[in-house]
Structure 1
Amino acid sequence: MNASLAPQTVRRPLILAAVMLASFMIAIEATIVSTAMPQIAGQLGQLQYYAWVFSSFLLAQTATTVVFGKLADLYGRRSVLLVGISIFLLGSILCGFAWSMPALIAFRLIQGLGAGAIQPVSITVIGDLYAAHERGKVQGWLASVWGVSSVIGPLAGGLIIQHVSWAWIFWINVPIGLAAAAGFFLFLRETVTTHERSVDVAGAGLFTVAIASLMVALTEAGASDGRFAVLAAAVCLVAAALFVVQERRARDPMVAFALWTRRAIATTNAATLFSGMAVIGLTTFLPMYVQAVMGRSPLEAGFMLTAMVLGWPIAATLGARNFGRFGLRRILVFGAALLPVGAVPFVLLSPTTSPLVAGLGSLIMGFGMGFLSTAAIVLIQDSVGWTERGAATASNLFARNLGSTLGAAVLGTVLNASLARDHSGSLQQVQELLHGQGAIVGAAASRAGLAHGLHLTFWGVLIIALLAVLLSVFVPRVTFGTRPPE
């Protein structure tokens, strides 16, 4: 089945408003949760699962994006969007009631399922409603949503943590989601025509099992009894092998391996994957360092991330305007090169360092991601014909989301291993430190141990960023504006 929208020019501004509300709900989630997580972890405990709060959301979103995109073709955009918003809001409400870190992780996974439906289908609705020559202006409106959320998210997160329960970090989504759902329900009209389409549910399931078991293996790798980690690694290998077999035999696979064998797509997606790993390391662990080690407020920690999210769209705009002048590959490599430059200030952080140093590093990494991600998308789109452009674009988004998922897990493992090896028995003290109890006995030692572990994660971010630069060098030259025949 294929869904096409009936003419509804009068309703377009109202539908666009609903799309912007839904996008805002997803966009603000990143900065507001990152700002609040040190306090949440301090209250709930089980610090070793800190990174899982981010990874579970990203894993569910990555695994279901392609599936929900195809379901939108089968059953219509409105139905999938309403289901996605409902799932996201259910997860948000449950997150606010979480009584432990594993419960929060499970509820964040539900949130991720909803995000996997909302984000791609919202973009599809814009493509349905607006002609190509109109989309540039509309994309500007959508970009402004991410810019506004980058300012409001840290501010709201800091204020909520300081004055009310952290549960409102998640419950604030409810009125926004209900308003977006009302807009889609009232104004989005569709005619759905029959068209046969295959949905690779088995591929999505095997992918989820493979990545989840890999995350478990990494998390348990430092445990005294490594048998559970070995078992999880074995499950990962089996699921990954079955995933490859499934994707090669599926009629409409989740991941088109034929595309990934082409040099332009393989190298660009590889650089994108590592850039996603580097950035998630920053957004996940920088707020913890700023608050627990430097002793700054959640509001200050949040605004360190704001610098990155503001730099991203500025660089994306500058890069897009200069594709014809400098070429796609040069802009992509330049963006990749900015990532390790931005990571250096984090390696140099100390408890007495000015927060402006962290803000500068965030800004530079934001610029790097803006140049790299925009050039990567256009380079991939210009290297294939029209019939493959959707799958090629999805492959790049998939690579970035997968990188974020793996980055949070790998760097979280680095932190856990450091705390377990060098400061055995101090996890409870670190938890109390994150909870704001700076006067506890042994607080200085716990702060030093946490600072050491976080420095190792920042070194990991720097190494990963350098690998992204190395991979970007192998991206072939693709002349801007010369697409293959349609």
Structure 2
Amino acid sequence: MTFATRAEVGFRSERGPVLIALMTTTGLVAIDATILATAVPTIVSELGGFTSFPWLFSIYLLTQAVSVPMYAKVADTIGRKPVILLGIGLFLLGSVLCGVAWSMPALIAFRALQGLGAGAVQPMSVTIVGDIYTLAERARVQGYIASVWGVASVVGPTLGGVFSQFLSWRWIFFVNLPLGLVAAWLLVRRYHESVEHREHRIDWLGGAILTVGLSLVILATLEGGNAWAWDAWQSVGAYGLGGSLLVVFAAVERRAAEPVLPMWVFSRRLLATTATIAVGVGAMLLGVTTYVPTFLEALLGVTPLTSGLTLAMLTIGWPISASQAGRVYLRIGFRSTAMIGVGVVIVGTVGLAVVSATPSVLLTGLSCFAIGAGLGFVAAPSLIAAQSSVQWGERAVVTGTNMFSRSMGSAVGVAVLGALVNGVMRDQSAAADPALFGTAATRAFWTIAGVAVLTAVAVLAMPRDRPAA
């Protein structure tokens, strides 16, 4: 167990540098998911390939999502430290290659390598937190990690614009190097774990089938209604083949000696419901952060700074509630705490949808704050409930499954919302009318509210638990 003697050396002095390293690497991964948004025009003007630039985002998200379960399983066999260091190494290598990319296809390929690194960093950060902090402490620390993702959704596009305007878009990637190296150094020096080394049989076949199957499903979801119609043969074929491979994957995993994604994760009620909750959290979080700034700028003509500050209300609400969630679930239990949170999320998402009919920066900000505050009471307790139900040897797989579910929720949720918005814009002739985008945004926000309701159903399905002593 990591930090077996931490009581002797003190909590803060021993774990503080590790937490800083985890927050730094998580921040780099999160920012790189959005930092290119404002730099795309500059990149396209230099490298060309305008029709291909959406892949800069989708390939990063794709390789990150499909690699999470594999890394999680490996971490439960060889330890967390080598996996997260491998992830940081791949991420930094991808960053260097992206910075020197000579064409759009090359940049897309190097973004895929970055995503493979991010797929290790994301679940390992949360898993290590679950290893080195007590049950009572985890909610506060998970709140710090969650706040990094929230802040990154606002800071990322801003930094991208600053670098592309005043320096070069290539610095978007080069800036990762010093921060990533410092984080890796802290982990090497200050993070120590004791792992029982034995021979393991890694399920490479299962990992390959899962990767290809999910890649096809995500590809069809991301490109459907964009590169081709939803009912085109490309979508039907990708969904059909991808779904078939996932069925084959489930059969392979039942026979594998050490499956990469054990089916018992989905056979346990608590783990299945918390994974479903993570899907909803991912869809709502990325849906709100994607469409709120565009909604305000298109309808009210506010500056990117103003829209970013409005969205920042979400990032303020989340860590505040997440830091207090520990006290609450120790008193009333995980399920009851998550129910309070999802109720607040429903209020916030419905408020956002209602406000979109008569746009207001103040009311939009208040709705975002409510959504963030609610998510802090949902995401942290549900994840910690899942982690606390298993031992060390299963914790990385459980955490990885939760993170994988959130990534899938983000990918599918944004794709579906994009299809809804694009459908409104295509069906109307006055596509340049800002009010038309208001109609599209309203549809997107009501869909997010629907996801909040479905997430509430998943929370209700969680097993009842007793408050901790």
Shift of 1:345: 3.6
Return the letter of the residue paired with 1:30. A
Task: Give 3-state SS (helix, strand or coil) of 1:322's partner.
Answer: helix
Residue 453 of structure 2 is aligned to residue 470 of structure 1: no
Residue 277 of structure 2 is aligned to residue 271 of structure 1: yes
Report matched runs for 1:81-120 at 5 Å.
81-95=84-98, 106-120=109-123
Unaligned runs of 5+ in 1: 427-443
Are residues 110 and 458 of structure 1, via their aligned partners in 2, closer, same or farther at CA, if it must alter by over 3 Å? Answer: farther
Which of 240, 243, 250 aligns to 1:244? It is 250
Residue 70 of structure 2 is aligned to residue 67 of structure 1: yes
CA distance in 2, matches of 1:459, 1:200: 41
CA distance in 2, matches of 1:471, 1:381: 17
Residue 380 of structure 2 is aligned to residue 380 of structure 1: no
Shift of 1:417: 3.2
Shift of 1:149: 7.1
* Alignment-derived partner of residue 158 in structure 1: 158
Matched length: 457
* Alignment-derived partner of residue 435 in structure 1: none
CA distance in 1, matches of 2:223, 2:141: 44
Residue 432 of structure 2 is aligned to residue 456 of structure 1: no
* Alignment-derived partner of residue 441 in structure 1: none
CA distance in 2, matches of 1:462, 1:6: 44
* Alignment-derived partner of residue 288 in structure 2: 282
The TM-score normalised by the length of structure 1 is: 0.78
CA distance in 2, matches of 1:154, 1:451: 21
Shift of 1:380: 3.1
Return the letter of the residue paired with 1:111. Q
Shift of 1:328: 2.4
Shift of 1:61: 2.7
Tell me if structure 1 keeps the 8 A contact 2:38–2:161.
no
Tell me if structure 2 keeps the 8 A contact 1:18–1:181.
no
Report matched runs for 1:26-41 at 5 Å.
26-27=26-27, 29-30=29-30, 34=34, 37=37, 40=40
Tell me if structure 2 keeps the 8 A contact 1:335–1:368.
yes
Tell me if structure 2 keeps the 8 A contact 1:34–1:283.
no
Return the letter of the residue paired with 2:350. V
CA distance in 1, matches of 2:461, 2:438: 36
Tell me if structure 2 keeps the 8 A contact 1:382–1:478.
no
RMSD: 4.0
* Alignment-derived partner of residue 429 in structure 1: none
Report matched runs for 1:62-461 at 5 Å.
62-72=65-75, 77-95=80-98, 106-122=109-125, 130=132, 140=140, 143-144=143-144, 147=147, 150-151=150-151, 154-155=154-155, 157-158=157-158, 160-162=160-162, 163-164=165-166, 165-185=168-188, 194-222=197-225, 223=228, 226-350=232-356, 353-381=359-387, 383=389, 391-423=397-429, 444-445=432-433, 447-461=434-448
Shift of 1:272: 2.8
Unaligned runs of 5+ in 2: none
Are residues 19 and 64 of structure 1, via their aligned partners in 2, closer, same or farther at CA, if it must alter by over 3 Å? Answer: farther
Cα offsets for 1:89-128 (capped at 9, x unmatched):
2333445567888766544432221122223444555677
Shift of 1:195: 0.6
Once the two structures are overlaid, the 10-residue window that deviates more, 451-460 or 96-105, is: 96-105
The TM-score normalised by the length of structure 2 is: 0.80
Shift of 1:27: 2.5
CA distance in 2, matches of 1:22, 1:381: 18
Shift of 1:305: 3.2
* Alignment-derived partner of residue 439 in structure 1: none
CA distance in 1, matches of 2:419, 2:153: 27
Report matched runs for 1:2-81 at 5 Å.
16-17=16-17, 20-27=20-27, 29-30=29-30, 34=34, 37=37, 40=40, 44=44, 50=54, 54-72=57-75, 77-81=80-84
Return the letter of the residue paired with 2:302. R
Are residues 41 and 230 of structure 1, via their aligned partners in 2, closer, same or farther at CA, if it must alter by over 3 Å? Answer: farther
* Alignment-derived partner of residue 437 in structure 1: none
Shift of 1:421: 3.4
